[in-house]
């Protein structure tokens, strides 16, 4: 785990909100899963806010996806939001598209992808 990685969490209306901060590597991903295991009470949803992730390393996102299969929470109850949401969210989890600039897992590289068109519009506005 990166030395500056930490996780804060809170409860609101029966939901668990997780705020990881720092660089997501393999052990950081495991720590996110461990926090969810400890804090989730079996009801409500889990929201993982990715805005404070400085960098989501490929091994970290792969580990997060693999470890997500080890918890008993249905994936459709797990929501990722923030700037790294599309990159970090494993298959089956939900993504709340806010200010993600329309990017998806393809990174805007596929010709017909909606995220590419949205990303180009966002760049023109800036």
pLDDT tens column, 17-66:
999 999 999 999 999 999 999 999 888 999 999 999 999 999 999 999 99
Q: For the whole prediction, is pTM greater than 0.85?
A: no
CATH fold of 6-100: Transcription Regulator spoIIAA (3.30.750)
For position 48, what pLDDT does the model report?
Answer: 97
Q: Using H for helix, E for strand and C for coil, what is the string for the chain?
A: CCCCCEEEEEEECCEEEEEEEEEECHHHHHHHHHHHHHHCCCCCCEEEECCCEEEECHHHHHHHHHHHCCCCCCHHHEEEECCCHHHHCCCCCEEECCCCCCCCCCCCCCCCCHHHHHHHHHHHHC
For position 112, what pLDDT does the model report?
Answer: 57
Domain chopping of the chain, boundaries: 6-100
């Amino acid at each position: 785990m990166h030395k500056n990685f930490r996780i804060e969490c809170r409860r609101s209306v029966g939901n668990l909100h997780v705020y990881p901060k720092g660089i997501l590597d393999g052990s950081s991903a495991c720590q996110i899963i461990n926090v969810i295991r400890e804090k989730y009470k079996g009801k409500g949803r889990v929201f993982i806010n990715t805005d404070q992730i400085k960098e989501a390393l490929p091994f970290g996102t792969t580990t997060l996806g693999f470890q997500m299969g080890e918890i008993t929470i249905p994936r459709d109850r797990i929501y990722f939001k923030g700037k790294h949401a599309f990159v970090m969210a494993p298959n089956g989890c939900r993504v709340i598209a806010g200010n993600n600039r329309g990017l998806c897992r393809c990174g805007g590289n596929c010709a017909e992808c909606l995220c590419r068109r949205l990303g180009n519009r966002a760049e023109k506005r800036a």
